[in-house]
Every structure is written in structure tokens, then in C-alpha cells.
Amino acid sequence: MWIRLALIASISLTAQLTFAQTTGSGGPPTCHLVSSIDVKDFGAETLRIGDLNGDGAPDLLLVQSVYGTREITCLTAMNIFGEVFWQTGKPSAENGRIYSDLPVQVYDWDADGRNEVLYVRQARYAEPPYRGGVRERASRYEGSATMVILDGSTGKEEGTLALPAAADDCFLFADLTGRGRREDLVVKDRYWNMWGVDHGGSVLWHWSGSPGHFPAVADVDADGKEEVFVGFALIDDDGRVIFEKDAQGTHQDACYIVRPADGKWRLLFGNGGIHCLTSDGSRLWHHPLGEAQHVVAGRFRTDSEMQFAVVDRTPIPTHRRDSNAWAILYLYDLDGREIWRRRQEKGAWCIATLRINWFGQDKAHGVFVYGHGAGRPAVIYDGDGGIVETFPMAYSPDVAPADRPDAFYAFAADVWGDSRDEAILFNGRGLCIYANARPAAIPTLYNETLYPGM
């Protein structure tokens, strides 16, 4: 159905689409640009994906904020061809950059079958007065933070929940109360505190420690309620600390919870290395690295059940971040043995990884890598460490490079409707979507007849 909708929409929006193809070694095109959106003054480095207009197909939500803070200033909802459904706040090219993740998600919060948009409106930062630059927290807050709930199809406010004043960093949904569905919230400030909040807005617990950038949740103890993993600690659904390790002044840059076929949970996180723990906090394996900024689990190879893609952003002692710095992409097996490593080009110190279902169902995943630096494309690595696809960023035609940075972010999601993920690239200067140009493989059809029944 999504393909039909996309094809119909593309007929009326041909003028807005720019098609490109990449071809490997003289063969047929392997991918094509299916959508290039003119983001005008609402372009952003934060994107959320979900059905907003209720037609069953994924839509896009661009989020602008004041750089150096997590103050959200504009939300723009549209379909994958750039048709805007609604916009709230004032769009501005100056607010297209981000300093950190933003507290906004698309989710069916009230379980009525239609998605809402939830975002955090900050409490007032009373001290010190803001004069630009990075602002992690205030020394004093006035009032509380507010979770704002918007109708996904119109952008109109449906309700609010009060949150602890400092809880204006990212948030995630979890089942802390045994509802059988993720209807509660885990909220946090930047680096110091985390709270469990139930669906009605009551604070269930508070934990202070080193929550890192983004927690992970799973029902690790099989009691019907989810635990929260922050890297150095695992917090039970009621706030009890299951294990906690000394963060030594650092924070986790990425974490992941997964349970392979052997039934044993692996809790992975990265900071100054990549760590794999059991559910009681015991270390299974560890590799010291400069800055393990990303860790992603997937079946990137068919010769084993699961592997882990890890980025070491600064594998040099000086922690340098400049045109001469570079990152290393690693692939480890389930037991932490290195399968391969790929050193990136100079200047490509800020790469990030995603798992992408590019090749189709029952095929190995690809390692989707972006953030190589200005003017450099995103790529997909296969399980052997070879680059198999390349995606240049397609910018809006009337947005001058001098106005906004050209570094871009990326997501992988099936927005085209062919059961494979698309590569979605976005920043303040544009948004584009690439799809796999290869026909989706199906078993050969034979013994076909006009009289089926066998």
C-alpha cells in the first residue's frame, strides 16, 4: 500500500523530486534517491518518524531548538515527500542545529490507535542568565518541566504532565508498572539524575548517578516490568539499584540490551572502551578504546547469530577532534572477538553507526555509517567490511551552504513500504531518502495456473 501511495504522490510532486542513481562496477543501479525535500526555514538536525496523519504510512517530524540547549522552538510534521501537515512554533534557519539529543518522540500515548507527539517544555532556567553557548543545566529552576502531548494529525495540544524541573534531556517509554505496554516514562537531566514516571505523571523513583546519553530498557528479571540500564548501573522498575559501578567522573556514550538465543542477557555500553556485562553486572568482556561512542547489535554476517558494530571515535591519546583525527569501525562477535576493523579517512572522527535492513528479509544486516565530515557521503558496510552503498546528501536548492552547516545525520527505516529500510539523511539544509533499487528477492514462482487450489 505504501508503494502505491508513494507512486501516486510522486506524480504530483515530480518537480520536487531529484532522482539519482549509484551503480556498482558497471551493473544496474543499486540505489536511487526517491525523495529530496526542500526544508526551507524549518530544516533540522533532529528527526522523528511515525504515522502522524493516520493513513498507516510513516511520516516525518522535524524538530528545531536553540543551539546549546534542549529548548524546542518548532515542530514540523510532513509526509515523506515534504507535504506539511502542521507546524507549531516559529521556524528559523538559526535553530536548525543541535547540541544534543532532544526530548521529543512520536508514540501512541493514549493507546487509541493514533499517534501523538510528546515533547518536553523546559522549566525556567533562573540562574545564571543565558548568554548563548552550551547550557547543560541551571543552578536554580523556576516551576517544573512539562511533558506536552500533541495530536499527531493536527499538532493541537491534548494535555500536559508536570515533570521534575531538571528533566529536560531525552526521555524514553518503558513499562515500569506492569501494564503490558510501554506507557510509563523514563526522564533525565543531562548527566546527573534520572526519574521513573508513571502514565499519570506521578514520580515513581529518582536515581542520581551517571545516566549517560540515552538509557536502554528491557524486562531483564522476567517479572513483567522493565529495568533501566544506564551503562554503569541497572535500575529495577521500582528504582532499586540492581548493580552500580563507579563511573569515575565519566558517562556512557551508548548502551544496548540484547538477549541472544542462549537466553543470556548482554548489557553493552561504551565510554572509554566497549564493555559487555551480564544482568548482575559481571563483566563478560571488555576492550579499552579511546571513545566508544556507538554500539549496535545485528546479524551483519550469516555465519553466526549476532555481532556488534562499535565506533572508536578518538583512538589517539590526545582525544583530538580536527581535520587530522579519524575513527575506527570495529565488528566483534558475540563473545567479543574482533572480526575486522576499518580505519576511516582523516577528518572522519565523528562517524556514527546504525543497523540497516538494506538487503531484505532473511538477509544479513548492513552497517550504516554516517558523519564522515563535510561533503562526504554516508555508506553501508557489509559483514565482510566492504562498502556496498554510498549516499551523498541532497540539499535543498535555495539554502546557501554558508547559512547552515552541511554535516548531516541519518536514520534507517522502512518508509517506502517494500519491507526493506531506506536511508534517510537530514540536516538544516535538506532531507533526502534513498531506497534500494534492486527488486526485492522472492522465491521463483512455478506451476502457476488460473485454477489454484493445490
- Give the tens place of pLDDT for each residue, 85-127: 999 999 999 999 999 999 999 999 999 999 999 999 999 999 7
Helix or strand holding residue 8 (H, E): helix 2-12
Is 70 exceeded by the pLDDT of residue 131? yes
Q: Which residue has the cell 552497517?
A: 367
Tens-digit pLDDT profile for residues 215-227: 999 999 999 999 9
Q: Which three cell numbers stand for residue 416?
A: 517506502
Eight-state DSSP code of residue 274: E
Helix, coil or strand: residue 396: coil
pLDDT in tens, 315-370: 766 567 788 888 999 999 999 999 999 999 998 989 999 999 999 988 999 999 99
**122, 71 contact by CB (below 8 A):** yes
Q: Which residues contact 444 (CB under 8 A, 6 or more apart)?
A: none
pLDDT the model gives residue 377: 96
pLDDT band at 401 (very low <50, low <70, confident <90, very high): low
Buried b (16+ CB within 10 A) or exposed e, 148-186: bbbebbebeeeeebebbbbbbbbbbbbbbbeeeebbbbb
Strands (E) across 239-376 are located at 241-244, 254-258, 266-270, 273-277, 283-288, 292-298, 307-312, 328-333, 338-343, 352-356, 366-370
Q: Give residue 25's pLDDT.
A: 53
Of all residues in the chain, what percent carry a pLDDT higher than 70?
92
Tell me: cis bond preceding 211? Omega within 30 of 0 counts: no
Q: What is the mean pLDDT of the chain?
A: 91
Looking at residue 319, its pLDDT comes to: 61
Higher pLDDT, 406 or 389: 389
Check residue 30 and give its pLDDT: 87
* CA 221 – CA 384 distance, rounded (Å): 35
Copy the grid coordinates of residue 132: 548563548
DSSP state of 404: S
The answer to whether residue 3 scores a pLDDT higher than 70 is no
* pLDDT tens track for 30-55: 899 999 999 999 999 999 999 999 99
CB contact at 8 A, 187 and 167: yes
Closest of 413, 441, 417 to residue 425, by C-alpha = 413
Torsions phi, psi for 12 (to 5 deg)? -85, -15
The pTM for the full model equals 0.92
288 CB-contact burial (10 Å; exposed 0-12 / middle 13-18 / buried 19+):
exposed
- CA–CA separation, 355 and 309 (whole Å): 9
Rounded to an integer, what distance in angstroms lies between the CA atom of residue 160 and that of residue 227?
25
pLDDT above 90 as % of the chain = 77
Q: What are phi and psi of 38, to 5 degrees?
A: -80, 105
- Residue 377 in grid coordinates: 557521503
Q: How confident is the model at residue 406 (pLDDT cuts 50, 70, 90)?
A: confident
